[in-house]
Amino acid sequence: MRKLQPSPLVLLYFLCLMLLATYLLSVLLWPFVSIIILSYLLATIFDPIYLFLNRKLSAEFSSLITCVLIVLLIFVPIIFFVGSLSTEAYALFQLTKGTNWAVKFSEFIEGNALLGRFKLLLEGYGIHLELAQFGTELSKFGGMIALFVYNQASSWAANILQFIFHFFMMVLIIFFLLIDRGRLVNYIMRLSPLPDEHEKRLISRFEEISRAILIGNGICGLIQGVVGGVVLGFWGFSSPIIWGVAMAILAFLPIVGIGLVLLPAAFILLLQGNVTQGLAMVIFYMVLSLSVEYLLKPKMVGVKVKMHTLLVFLSIIGGLQVFGVMGIIYGPLIATGFLTLADIYIMNYDQYVKSTSYLTGRSSQSDRSEDNR
């Protein structure tokens, strides 16, 4: 039986109901949007393991084993790590909070011959540098960093019930996504009015960039953070766990990276008169950064998901400001969505829009000429 075409009024009414239902569903799911996105990304990454297990086991049992593996590899280490991070951040905050540390650091700066010659050189050009105040300001800055890290880690540790709830929700979502992710994607593709090839391209690009962020950048950042923290602890720097976390996060930034931690550490060693150790720190930074960025990361990420270096940098910085820590993931994903849609527009709609605009311009000009007659 042939379906009747709906009238414009019926279609408009249905679209209004659909938009209202979509809005209400978005309001319901918005408190869990971060959990849903992260669960989808983790399900995408661990999907090969699930498919391998599903060859011989049932879908439910394969998904359960995969979820247990995710818990053991990701969530259990995070629980132990947060406690150590909170303790070390509080110790660093107490160290920088006192005035003795700032006074000792200021005395060290004033008594350093190299900095003294540098100060005299600047004064020859009319630049007066108060090195004594530098120690106090650096102490305040270090205290701010330590307090921020301590508050974050303490909030995670204190809100243990909320953490358990979010953890349970994430594992539950991952369990069902591993089984029904294909059906969910097909359902969304049927609802979308875009051609299937465009939708598949968008989904594939999102999955590629999510693997690049969580597997490539995540593992490479973890390697640089762990190795850098161990080396700083070996060289006698306090709070190596905090600096390791800072380097693991900074490793996502393609321009500055872990140099924001290791290069100042090398500079401090040089000021202390440890020239050999300072140069060794610079060499270590170059070897670690270059080997990971140009040897390990391209093999793990690949060349298909590369974006311009400046765009990656800006998207991560903007994501951190807008979304917090999760902005490391959200920023590149949003940039990837825009670039993919821009490519689809250029390949499929650019000439059509330009030709339509050209014809519209011609018709409007002809109408104005007829009116003038």
* pLDDT value of position 327: 81
Mean pLDDT in residue range 114-140 = 59
Distance between CA atoms of residues 222 and 56, nearest Å:
33
- pLDDT at residue 346, rounded to an integer: 84
Alpha carbon distance 171, 189 (integer Å):
25
Report whether 66 contacts 178 (CB < 8 A). yes
Q: Which two tokens stand for residue 78?
A: 């995070």
- Mean pLDDT score of the chain, rounded to an integer? 75
Upper half-sphere CA count for residue 303 (Cβ side, 13 Å): 2
Whether residue 176 has pLDDT greater than 90: yes
pLDDT at res. 86: 61
When pLDDT is averaged across residues 310-330 and rounded to a whole number, the result is 81
Q: If you average pLDDT over residues 231-246, what whole number do you get?
A: 78
The residue among 302 and 39 whose pLDDT is bigger is: 39
pLDDT at 148 over 70: no
- Would you state the pLDDT for residue 132? 54
Instruction: Name which residue leads in pLDDT, 329 or 128.
Output: 329
For residues 288 and 224, is the Cβ–Cβ distance under 8 A?
Answer: yes
Q: Is the pLDDT of residue 2 over 70?
A: no
Angle between helices 113-124 and 99-111 (to 10 degrees): 70
Q: Ranked by mean pLDDT, which of 2-16, 182-196, 236-250 comes out on top? A: 182-196
Cα R_g (the chain), whole angstroms: 28
Burial group, residue 48, by CB count within 10 angstroms (0-12, 13-18, 19+): exposed
> 16: pLDDT confidence band, cut at 50, 70 and 90?
very high
Contact predicate 344/198, CB 8 Å: yes
Based on the number of CB atoms within 10 Å of its own CB, is 326 exposed (0-12), middle (13-18) or buried (19 or more)?
middle
